[in-house]
Structure formats: structure tokens, C-alpha cells
Amino acid sequence: MAEILKHAVPKAEVAASLDQVRETVAGVIADVRERGDAAVRAYSEKFDKWSPDSFRLSAEDVEKIVASVPQQVIDDITFVQEQVRTFARHQLDSMGEFEVETLPGVRLGQKHIPVQAAGAYIPGGRYPLTASAHMTIVTAKVAGVPRVVACTPPIHGEIPAATVAAMHLAGADEIWLLGGVQAVAAMAVGTDTMEPVNLIAGPGNAYVAEAKRQLFGEIGIDLFAGPTEILVLADDRADPFVCAVDLLSQAEHGPDSPAVLITTSHEVAEQTIAEVERLLPGMPTRDFAEPAWRNHGQVHVVGSVDELYELADAFAFEHVEVLTAEPRLALERMTQYGALFLGEGTCVSFGDKVIGTNHVLPTRGAARYTGGLWVGKYLKTVTYQEVTDTASQALLGRLCGRASRVELFEGHARSGDVRAARAAGDALPWNEA
């Protein structure tokens, strides 16, 4: 049994706070459906104090903004995007198309078709998340998406130049300075000035996540995303200082970001708590990290490595950092996580910012049934069939007739009967008249 040294707030409190979010989001989406651009402009003015002549940046606007970004920032963006692009290309290469002949003249095939228009939401607000542009836009372009619409909000009424540069360098076809639910709704349902997309990807706050949830089905989405999560797994060899630093690295995402430690060592647990309390007062992002740790931080002490991995799988967290003597053991023992970060030399922040794997990952237990954003999310895997051999047409036609009548699908059966009749002269008793 695990001993809990630090608890999070009850889940009921978290669920209650989402009710108002759902109601607000539903109202905004309905308004954008009805009033289009007028509603988008009204919400942008209300929430972002932003109402330019056009929310879409022209090519000249983009060129001017990118030119204002320091060269070192451009170089770093270019380097990181190449890491993301390389990994996405390897993912694409792993997805095979094929055609096989299963019976004489019966050819079955599979191919991958990119969605024709994708929306990329790049969060702004407090943080200009340039890395989200890499993850959503670069990956879509590697998949072959011909039209990528990228939206990001202004930050305190200012253009986030580095984010715009990242969107442009990633290959976005349209760049819009527009954020929040109004951006997601505009991309999903379309307006007079924005054509709708087929799929929307990218992280965001609770309102953005809820907008994607409500619009799912009308459009595709990457996944249902909630607050950023980190789970640190540590044995008695782990450094409590490293544990604390890495827990806080994700807690700073927002006041509702869970940061959890599971360890086999009482000493590591207690010292990690002490290190967090020592480091928090000096963090520039304390106003987010402190409530996240206070309300959503947890520390569990377990009796063995077996219990460590069992409890970790039960959390099914987005990021799992493994600070143990044998970190690669997690690859064998764990089945429910968004991404693993193995060993002290590999921090979650690498995945967030620079290493090349995608940082759009499942939260709120979604790792039980899905992985994160990847090149395959932008592809539709479709099949095709062709039967050219008359003997096979007759065989399948007769079989289809029998199988369909077992299920009382007479129309299906007759369709099969016709193939058998055309191929082999079988009678059609139901067509004698």
C-alpha cells in the first residue's frame, strides 16, 4: 500500500469548476455559428483587447515580423523544427501502404491520405509557446496537409513575434492573430473570412480544450487535452533537488497543473517536498507554480519498484520522468503514459521544447486509450478493394448471399447474387418476374 505524504484537492472540486467553462464555451461557439466574423471580433475585443482590421497576417506582415526577431532565436527555432521534422518523417516512414492479392483476382489495399485542411492552435496568453507551432504545423506538413491554418492570440495587445516566426518557418499557409474559443470555433465552423478546416490540433487552456471537445465530430481533433501533468518516479538513488526542479518545471504551466512524485524512499519524498518549498519563493513563475503544487501536487511512497510502476500506470499521466537505477525498465513495465523520459539526463522540458518528439500529449487519464499527436493523426488510413477474377466473383457472391441472409439483409444478399449470376450464370429466383 502506498503512503501519501501530500494530497491533492478532491476531484469533485476540479469537476465543479469545469461546469462554468462548458457553459461559456457553448455560448461562444453558438454565437460564432450565427454571427461569424462579427462574433469573432467581439470576443477578441472582450478577451484579448485585440481588434485589428484583419486578424489574418499578410505575407508582408509576416516578413516584417520575422525580420524583427533576433537571429539567434531564428536559428534556435530552425534547429528545433528540424528535430521535430526528422522524428515525424521517421514516423511517416513507419506507416506502410500496401496492396495484396488474397484470392485469385481479389486485390485489397491500404493507403494514407492527408486531411485537406488542418487548424493549428498555438497558445499565447502569458507564455508565447513557440514550441507548439513546431509540434502542430511541422508535423502536419510532413504528413502532406496542403492547407494549415495557424492561430495564436496577441499577448497583452502585442504581436508575439517569435511565435509568428515559428509558425511561418514551420510552414503555415495562413497565420491569424486570434486566440481562445473564438479562434477554435472560427477554424471549425468557418466565417466569411476563414474557410473551415477538417481537424484542429494543439494545446490550450481549459476553454480551448472544452471548445475542441464540443466541436469533436463536426471536425477531428488531436486529442482531449487538459492541464499539463508530470509524474516523477524515483528510487532511493534519485536526487531530491532534481525531483523538485522537474516537478516545478511543469507546475509553472498553470495553477491547475498536477505534479506528482512516486518514490520507494521516505527520505527522497521528504527531501523533495522540502526542496520544492525552498525553491518556490524564488521562482519568477511562482504565481502559477505555487497553487499548482499546493492544490494538485502529490507525493506517494511505495514499498517496491513493482508498486512504483503499478501506481504509475494507474495515474496514466501525460509526462512520466523515470529517475531510477534502471530507467529503461519502465519501457517493459508501463503501458499507460503519454511520453516517457528515461534517466536523470532526460528531463520533460527537453520533450516540451527541443528534443523532437511531440509535446501534444494525452492528459486526464486519456493515456489509457491514446498516445499523443503524431504524423498519423493528420492522415486518414483508407482501404480499397477490387475483384477481377470471375471465379472469385462467383465465390464471393454466393458467400455474400448466404452470409447476408443469416443476418436478414436481403438487399445485401441480392447484390452478391447478381455478381454470382454475372460471373457464373447462377439463377436469380427473386428476379424471375
- Residue written as cell 493528420? 378
H or E element that contains 100: strand 98-103
The type of residue at 95 is M
The type of residue at 102 is T
Catalytic residues: 318-319
CA-wise closest residue to 296 among 351, 342, 259, 330: 259
Furthest-apart CA atoms within the chain: distance in Å: 90
In this structure, are residues 40 and 138 in contact, taking their beta carbons and an 8 Å threshold? no
How far is the CA of 181 from the CAs of 37, 147, 175, 189, 253, in angstroms?
Answer: 13, 21, 17, 12, 19
Dist. CA 77–CA 68, nearest whole Å: 14
Chain Cα centroid distance, residue 131: 13
Q: What share of the chain is helix, strand, coil (3-state, %, to 5)?
A: 50, 20, 30
How many other C-beta atoms can be found within 10 angstroms of the C-beta atom of residue 68? 11
CA-wise closest residue to 425 among 390, 380, 401, 396: 390
User: Which residues make beta-bridge pairs with 231?
Assistant: 260, 320
Alpha helices in 127-253 (DSSP H): 130-133, 139-143, 161-170, 180-189, 206-215, 240-251
H or E element that contains 353: helix 348-353
User: Which residues make beta-bridge pairs with 387?
Assistant: 106
CA-wise closest residue to 48 among 189, 198, 155: 155
